[in-house]
Amino acid sequence: MRLLLVEDDSMIGEAVLDLLRAEHYAVDWVRDGEMADTALRTQDYDLVLLDLGLPRRDGLDVLRALRARRQRVPVLIATARDAVQQRIEGLDAGADDYVLKPYDLHELLARLRALLRRAAGRAEPVYEHQGICINPATREVTAQGQPVQLSAREWAVLEPLLARPGLVLSRAQLEEKLYGWKDEISSNAVEVYIHGLRRKLGPGLIQNVRGVGYMVPKAGP
Ligand code: CA
């Protein structure tokens, strides 16, 4: 999953960036409203964590412009504990949820997971498909009830595919979920992780869609 972190405070930004990366999210971090707007116009994100008090352009303004472009990416706004009016304005401007600053980091992660789950059209916290079960909160994976160890990047490839069976994701789309701006990308990385996933979870789970990308089929193979 690829996230945009919009935060002008360096210390907070670094702490949240470290946390999100440790949770295997690919993260781009911008520090003002103009850069946030540019990033949102040019990249696809699975979620935006948006501080509202920003230099150059206010977070609410960035949010309104995003929704005016009809971009549906989930947005979690960050506001001060006593800023009730700002939270109301943010939610009414198209934010999906809010988190209070200073952050409780565990709560922040749980809210991210909840929004990502809803964005994938799911309510249940654990995904089960074709005998493969994944839990985004604990990162536990089982195949036919047996625990399976995945690397962080194998997880990052599997989760979006398993979250929406029948949806084809291109190699480029999967790469976007693996890497932030500053990461090195090797040209066959996605193929390597798909290969590892097939070895661990069975050859039939992830299918190639010739010339388009990869998917987990809705029905069994
Ligand atoms: Ca701020």
Task: State the Cα–Cα distance between residues 198 and 136, nearest whole angstrom.
Answer: 20
Give the mean model confidence (pLDDT) for residues 52-64. 96
| Among the ranges given (42-56, 82-96, 125-139), the one the predictor scored with the smallest mean pLDDT | 125-139
Q: How far is the CA of 79 from the centre of ligand 1 (A)?
A: 9
Q: Are 6 and 47 in contact (CB under 8 A)?
A: no
CA of 82 to the centre of ligand 1 (A): 14
Question: What's the 10 CA to ligand 1 centre distance in angstroms?
Answer: 10
- The two three-digit tokens of residue 85, written as one number: 């009016």
Could you tell me the distance, in angstroms and rounded to a whole number, from the CA of residue 111 to the centre of ligand 1? 20
d(CA 113, CA 221): 29
- Split at pLDDT 50, 70, 90, the class of 185 is confident
- Say how many Å lie between the CA of residue 54 and the centre of ligand 1: 5
80 Cα: distance to centroid of ligand 1 (angstroms):
9
Instruction: Find the 20 Cα to ligand 1 centroid distance in Å.
Output: 18
The pLDDT tens digits of the residues spanning 120-161 come to: 888 889 989 989 999 999 989 999 999 999 998 899 999 999
Q: What is the mean pLDDT of residues 36-60?
A: 96
Ligand 1 centroid–CA 92 distance in Å is: 20
Confidence (pLDDT) at 220: 52
Centre of ligand 1 from the C-alpha of residue 78, in Å: 9
114, 96 contact by CB (below 8 A): no
What is the distance in A from the centroid of ligand 1 to the CA of 13? 10
Task: Quickly state the pLDDT bin for 48 (edges 50, 70, 90).
Answer: very high
Distance (angstroms) between ligand 1 centre and the Cα of 83 equals 13
Mean pLDDT of 169-182: 86
For the entire predicted model, the pTM comes to 0.89
pLDDT at site 181: 72
What is the C-alpha to C-alpha distance for residues 221 and 40, in angstroms, rounded to an integer?
37
Q: Region 176-196: what's the mean pLDDT?
A: 84
Q: How far is the CA of 9 from the centre of ligand 1 (A)?
A: 6
In CATH, the number for domain 2-119 is: 3.40.50.2300
Judged on CB neighbours under 10 Å (0-12, 13-18, 19+), 64 is middle
Ligand 1 centroid vs 31 CA: distance in angstroms?
9
Please give the mean pLDDT across all residues of the chain: 93
pLDDT value of residue 155 = 92
- Between the CA of 207 and the centroid of ligand 1 the distance, in Å, is 44
Fold adopted by 127-215: Arc Repressor Mutant, subunit A (1.10.10)
Confidence of residue 178 (pLDDT cuts 50, 70, 90): confident
Domain boundaries, the chain: 2-119, 127-215
pLDDT at residue 15, rounded to an integer: 95
- For the chain, what is the HEC assignment? CEEEEECCCHHHHHHHHHHHHHCCCEEEEECCHHHHHHHHHHCCCCEEEEECCCCCCCHHHHHHHHHHCCCCCCEEEEEECCCHHHHHHHHHCCCCEEEEECCCHHHHHHHHHHHHHHHCCCCCCCEEECCEEEECCCCEEEECCEEECCCHHHHHHHHHHHHCCCCCECHHHHHHHHCCCCCCCCCCHHHHHHHHHHHHHCCCCCEEECCCEEECCCCCC
What number is the average pLDDT over the span 90-109? Answer: 95
